[in-house]
């Protein structure tokens, strides 16, 4: 039969093991609550201080810039003690543990000259044991965990404490690496948001004309509000750019900007794309999925080509506008959403309403703040600065130094630009990439632009004269591209060398001297 002291010792041992396991579990819980570094580490020190009966404890982290260890969390120390707790690598017990990457135990700090007591937290050092463990992941040492302990027969032993503290230090190391990754990602996100905010600032949208200045003023007025905005204008006038500018100039700029083109998705998939669906809601729905409205929560959703929205979906969009709520396909649960809605269309909504193809109540809900973007032909004064901007952009991208002469510039200015700024941008890119020289002339421009120029020219009075000028321009262009070799130029034009010789004589085109 076991004696009473043996039973008590066994009971104490079981209680001690339970406290150790509880401490490890509680530390794990604390470190997974959030990414608040100092708050979580302070909670860890309080936990092991109370559960493992540690008098004092510190987490030192290495500042990679200064090369200094400093206390980021502590238990049983004053603010003044914490501020004093700084060590260089190799200095004192703490510095040596970091340098050697192995734990150290000082049975009695009063008899250890290497123990510096920099914090001043231990006026009476005799009888206090000091345990110091490196905080490391693989072979990278991130800091040091230290604790003070007064040992007695009932309060465990050094080996038990070292084992528990090494587990705690390992958990702390993993948390620190996750925190570092989280901080890096957050900084990258903030950097990208600042870049996007700058890129889509209204100041970066090109337009000195009176019409565009009116648009910019309206954007400045509407951006801070919560109002629904309807952007009107032809295709290619920059409606998406204006929508992004409104978002990034609003209080929602830290939230998402979700773009959705109502004309680009088959009608059968539109509802799922916008509102999401539950698993098994229809054939092929193998998992639940959030829709665009959910993804845009706390931000802005931009519904482009709203005039193409099917009539069956229009009541659902109206409900979101009015109630800010909807259900996923296959679910009865109503979801609330905090989202600003910006829409755009190149269609005549008033005609669609009169034809019964667009709900009148939805039209009035969308048309709270209408902004009209002028076509490029109504802002000719903006064309030269747009050309300059796109030439710079595509020259940089293609390592070219292409410029445009006055004859080509005049064609650009007087062209009617049915595709607006998008067409102009694509034209400039094509010219920069394909141009055989560094100077773009009128003869380098697409035939459609030259035909338009000839139609609008006041100097030419007859169709025959227009055709002759165009033919002469095409011959010069072909000769330039072929190095003035008649046979090659003729092949480009689809005529014979004899015919090109005749045409050159007819239009007074002289041989180019090499």
Q: Is the domain of 214 the same as that of 310?
A: yes
pLDDT along the chain (514 residues), means of 10: 59 73 85 87 86 82 86 84 83 86 79 58 61 89 86 61 87 90 82 61 79 92 94 93 92 92 88 90 84 94 94 94 93 93 95 94 95 93 92 93 90 90 94 90 82 56 60 82 84 81 82 61
Q: Quick check: is 195 in a domain?
A: no
- Rounded distance between C-alpha atoms, residue 143 and residue 276, angstroms: 46
Task: Please state whether beta strands 439-440 and 340-345 pair in parallel, antiparallel, or not at all (unpaired).
Answer: unpaired
The greatest distance separating any two alpha carbons of the chain, rounded to the nearest whole angstrom, comes to: 129
Is the same domain home to 48 and 158? yes
pLDDT value of position 94? 85
Q: Are residues 421 and 343 part of one domain? A: no
The encoded tokens of residue 261 equal 């083109």
Place of tokens 């755009």: 344
Identify the CATH number of the domain in which residue 349 sits.
3.40.50.300
For residues 205 and 163, state if they share a domain: no
Q: Is residue 244 domain-shared with residue 233, that is, in the same domain?
A: yes
284 and 344 part of one domain: yes
Closest CA to 366 of 303, 297, 312: 303
Does residue 450 belong to any structural domain of this protein? yes
Instruction: Indicate whether 136 belongs to any domain.
Output: yes
Same domain, 389 and 475: yes
Closest of 499, 453, 488, 458 to residue 473, by C-alpha: 453
| Same-domain pairing of 258 and 204 | yes
The two structure tokens encoding residue 207: 């337009």
CA distance 277 to 287: 8
Cβ count within 10 A of residue 48: 24
Domain membership of residue 247 (yes or no) is: yes
280 C-beta neighbours (distance < 10 Å), count: 12
Q: Are residues 127 and 212 in the same domain?
A: no
Domain count for the chain:
3
What is the per-residue pLDDT for 461?
45
**170 and 32 housed in the same domain:** yes
Decide if 349 is inside a domain: yes
Helix ranges (H only) for 204-300 are: 210-222, 239-248, 267-275, 292-295
Predicted confidence at residue 459, as pLDDT, reads 46
Residue 234, Cβ density class (10 Å: 0-12 exposed, 13-18 middle, ≥19 buried): middle
Whole-model pTM: value is 0.60
Q: Domain check: are 358 and 381 in the same one?
A: no
Tell me the C-alpha distance between 299 and 337, whole Å. 10
Selection from 103, 206, 110, 209 nearest residue 147 by Cα: 103
Helices (H) and strands (E) in the chain, counts: 19, 15
Containing structural domain, residue 324: 200-374
Q: How many residues does the chain have?
A: 514
The last residue of one of the domains, among 147, 179, 211, is 179
Select from 179, 210, 233 the last residue of a domain: 179
């Amino acid at each position: 039969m076991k004696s009473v002291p043996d039973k008590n010792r066994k009971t104490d041992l079981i209680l001690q093991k339970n406290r150790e396991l509880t401490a490890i579990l509680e530390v794990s819980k604390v470190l997974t609550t959030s990414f608040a570094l100092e708050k979580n580490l302070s909670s860890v020190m309080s936990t092991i201080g109370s559960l493992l009966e540690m008098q004092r404890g510190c987490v030192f982290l290495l500042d990679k810039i200064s090369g200094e260890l400093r206390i980021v969390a502590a238990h049983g120390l004053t603010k003044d003690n914490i501020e004093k707790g700084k060590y260089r690598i190799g200095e004192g017990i703490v510095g040596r543990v970091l340098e050697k990457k192995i734990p150290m135990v000082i049975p009695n700090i009063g008899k250890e000259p290497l123990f510096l007591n920099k914090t001043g937290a231990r006026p009476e050092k005799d009888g206090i044991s000091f345990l110091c463990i490196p905080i490391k992941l693989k072979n990278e040492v991130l800091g040091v965990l230290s604790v003070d302990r007064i040992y007695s027969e009932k309060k465990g032993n050094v080996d038990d404490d070292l084992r528990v503290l090494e587990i705690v230090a390992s958990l702390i190391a993993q948390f620190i690496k996750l925190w570092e990754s989280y901080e890096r990602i957050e900084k990258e996100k903030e950097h990208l948001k600042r870049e996007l905010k700058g890129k889509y600032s209204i100041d970066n949208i090109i337009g000195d004309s009176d019409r565009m200045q009116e648009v910019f003023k309206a954007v400045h007025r509407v951006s801070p509000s919560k109002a629904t905005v309807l952007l009107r204008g032809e295709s290619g006038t920059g409606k998406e750019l204006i929508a992004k500018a409104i978002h990034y100039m609003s209080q929602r700029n830290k939230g998402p900007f979700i773009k959705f083109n109502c004309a680009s998705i088959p009608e059968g998939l539109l509802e799922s794309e916008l509102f999401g669906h539950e698993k098994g809601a229809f054939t092929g729905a193998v998992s639940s999925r959030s829709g665009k409205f959910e993804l845009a929560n706390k931000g802005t959703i931009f519904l482009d080509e709203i005039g193409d929205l099917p009539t069956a979906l229009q009541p659902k969009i109206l409900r979101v506008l009015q109630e800010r709520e909807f259900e996923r396909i296959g679910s009865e649960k109503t979801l609330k959403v905090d989202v600003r809605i910006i829409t755009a269309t190149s269609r005549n909504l008033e005609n669609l309403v009169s034809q019964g193809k667009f709900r009148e109540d939805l039209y009035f809900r969308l048309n709270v703040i209408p902004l009209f973007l002028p076509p490029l032909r109504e802002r000719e004064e903006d064309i030269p600065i747009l050309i300059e901007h796109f030439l710079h952009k595509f020259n940089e991208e293609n390592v070219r130094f292409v410029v445009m002469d006055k004859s080509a510039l005049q064609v650009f200015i007087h062209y009617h630009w049915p595709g607006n700024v998008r067409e102009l941008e694509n034209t400039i890119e094509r010219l920069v990439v394909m141009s055989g020289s560094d100077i773009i002339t009128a003869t380098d421009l697409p035939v459609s632009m030259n035909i338009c120029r000839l139609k609008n020219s006041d100097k030419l009075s007859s169709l025959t004269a227009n055709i002759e000028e165009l033919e002469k321009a095409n011959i010069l262009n072909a000769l330039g591209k072929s190095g003035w070799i008649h046979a090659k130029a003729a092949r480009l034009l689809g005529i014979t060398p004899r015919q090109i010789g005749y045409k050159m004589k007819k239009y007074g085109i002289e041989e180019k001297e090499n």
